[in-house]
Amino acid sequence: MSEHEQYADDLALYALDALQGEDRVRVHDHLATCAACRLELERLRGDAALLALSAAGPRPPQRSRLRLLDAVAREPRSARTVATAPRRSWWGWLGWAATAAVVLFALSLWQQNSALKQTLASAISQQAKSAREMEELRRIAAPIIEPEAQRVTLVAAKTPPQPQGKAFYLRSRGSLVFLANNMLPLPPQKAYELWLIPVSGAPIPAGVFKPDAHGSASVVNPPLPAGVEAKAFAITVENEAGSPAPTTPVLMVGAGE
Amino acid sequence: MGLKSGDQRAMAELYDRYSSVVYAVALRVLGDTGAAEDVLQEVFLQLWRRPSAFDAARGTLATWLAVITRNRAIDSLRKRRPETDIEDVVLSVSPDLAGDAERSRAAEKVRGVMVDMAPAQRSALEMAYWEGMSHSEIATKTGEPLGTVKTRIRSGLIALRKAFQS
């Protein structure tokens, strides 16, 4: 049961003022910190409002109208002005008496429109920010992951180039980037397979790859379970479709640096 | 001053347009014309004094007045001080209820949903809404567990919502 579900029934009662005692206080306190439940409360009040609108009955007697208008005429204007000081403009519209209801409806549409525009602007801004961040990441990573990037491995002079692999592994997300250089060509229908060697248990397949003409290859984010602690990474040669377990001797292996 | 008399004319316009809704709700709760007239007076005077309490971005004035009226009528029925300040009544209604015809159709639909509802559920919802009973009072009166009463009331409200989503 999620945190919100546990409040679901009580929210409905709260919307009807039918919740009392500690339960009411508990919901009240929760609402102060939970936007999702505040939104649901508004909806439930809206649902209850439908019930209110379903009431039908006779029109009020004429004396009620006279009584109200008499009371309104006797209300001092100054008191009303003080009470509504922060939003006096409402009264300015109300002054246009003949179209009061129309104005209210138009105001409703205008405010809804403004709110939507703000939400949209915020979403566009957020999307632009994300796009900029993604572009920046692509720019930084381009020399590593782009196929046309020139890869140079420096080794001691007079040493023939050796196959070499680098694994970058983020255990918490199960995220892995593997880069290889100077890999030897493979026989037909064969591929290299990368293995995550966990602290305990069998090796976990971490991607199949074939080097390009320069002996370079990469594996980016193969499907891996999150949270597995890697003792080492290893490479074997397998059928190009990959194998669930190593079937040939380990060609390359490396533990954490 | 012209403005002052203009304000009063505005109030008369609003009264002519919405007093039927307000009076019907008050009378439904209180069942007494004199008490209903008192609530009608109080609700419109509150609107006169604090028009800023109504947020036009959320629902129509008719809906808001109906809810305020129900709350005030329940307070009157239960002889208690107002539980909810009118400024705190924020609600979100999805169907279009701006016009008299739309409200009339919606009211008819709501009455249909209530008729189709299981009797125990309809009864729990009506006791909470029209009589202002708490869930524990309803549980005592019906002899049902508190949890059952709570769930019935919520699912009753959701049934109303769904009727307007389909």
Around Cβ A2, how many Cβ atoms within 10 Å?
8
Contact A90 B136 (CB under 8 A): no
Looking at the DSSP bridge assignments, the partners of residue A132 are: none
- Does A51 contact B at CB distance below 8 Å? yes
**Top-confidence residue, B147 or A156:** B147
Any B CB within 8 A of A95 CB: yes
The pLDDT value recorded for residue A127 is 56
- Residue with more model confidence, B165 or A256: B165
Contact B153 A18 (CB under 8 A): yes
Do residues A162 and A155 lie in contact, with contact meaning Cβ atoms separated by under 8 Å?
yes
Query: Chain B contact for A12, CB < 8 A?
Result: yes
- Whether the CB of A225 is below 8 Å from some CB of chain B: the reply is no
What pLDDT is stored for residue A119 in this prediction?
Answer: 55
Output B53 or A178, whichever has higher pLDDT.
Answer: A178
Q: Can you give the pLDDT at residue B4?
A: 43
What is the reported pLDDT for B88? 64
CB-count burial class (<10 Å; 0-12, 13-18, 19+) for A148: exposed
Tell me which chain B residues have a C-beta less than 8 angstroms from the C-beta of A64: 19, 23, 37, 40-41
pLDDT tens for B75-112 read: 999 887 666 666 666 666 666 666 778 888 888 999 99
Using CA atoms of A218, A224, A228, A234 in order, give the dihedral in degrees to the nearest 10.
-40
**For residues A209 and A191, is the Cβ–Cβ distance under 8 A?**
yes
User: Closest chain A residue to B122 measured between Cα atoms?
Assistant: A51
**What pLDDT, on the 0 to 100 scale, is given for residue A195?**
95
d(CA A54, CA B95): 14
Which of B93, B94, B96, B121 is most worth mutating to test chain A (most A CB atoms within 10 A of its CB)? Answer: B93
Cross-strand partners of A205: A195
Residue ranges of A 21-40 with Cβ closer than 8 A to chain B: 39
A13/B60 CB distance under 8 A:
no
Cβ–Cβ contact A74 with B under 8 A? no
Nearest C-alpha of chain B: how many angstroms from A57?
Answer: 5
- Enumerate residue ranges in chain A where pLDDT < 50: 1, 78-99
Q: Under an 8 A CB cutoff, do A56 and B8 touch? A: no
The pLDDT assigned to A107 comes to: 60
Residue from A20, A31, A54, A72 whose CB has the most chain B CBs within 10 Å, to mutate:
A54
If you write DSSP's letter for every residue of B94-106 in order, what string do you get? Answer: -S---SHHHHHHH
Contact between A204 and A195 (Cβ < 8 Å) = yes
* Residue A63 phi, psi dihedral angles, 5° rounding: -60, -25
Segment B110-124 shows an average pLDDT of: 94
Tell me how far CA of residue A16 lies from CA of A46, A112, B91, B102, B106, in angstroms: 11, 26, 12, 24, 20
ipTM, two decimals = 0.86
Across the interface, whether the CB atoms of B92 and A46 are under 8 A apart is answered yes
**Domains of chain A as residue ranges with CATH:** 5-53 (no CATH), 164-255 (2.60.40)
Whole-Å CA distances, A121 to A115, A127, A157, A191: 10, 10, 58, 49
Position B85: which residue type? D
Using DSSP's 3-state secondary structure scheme, residue A91 falls into helix
Domains of chain B plus CATH, in order, are 1-93 (1.10.1740.10), 95-166 (1.10.10.10)
pLDDT of residue A115: 59
Query: pTM here?
Result: 0.55
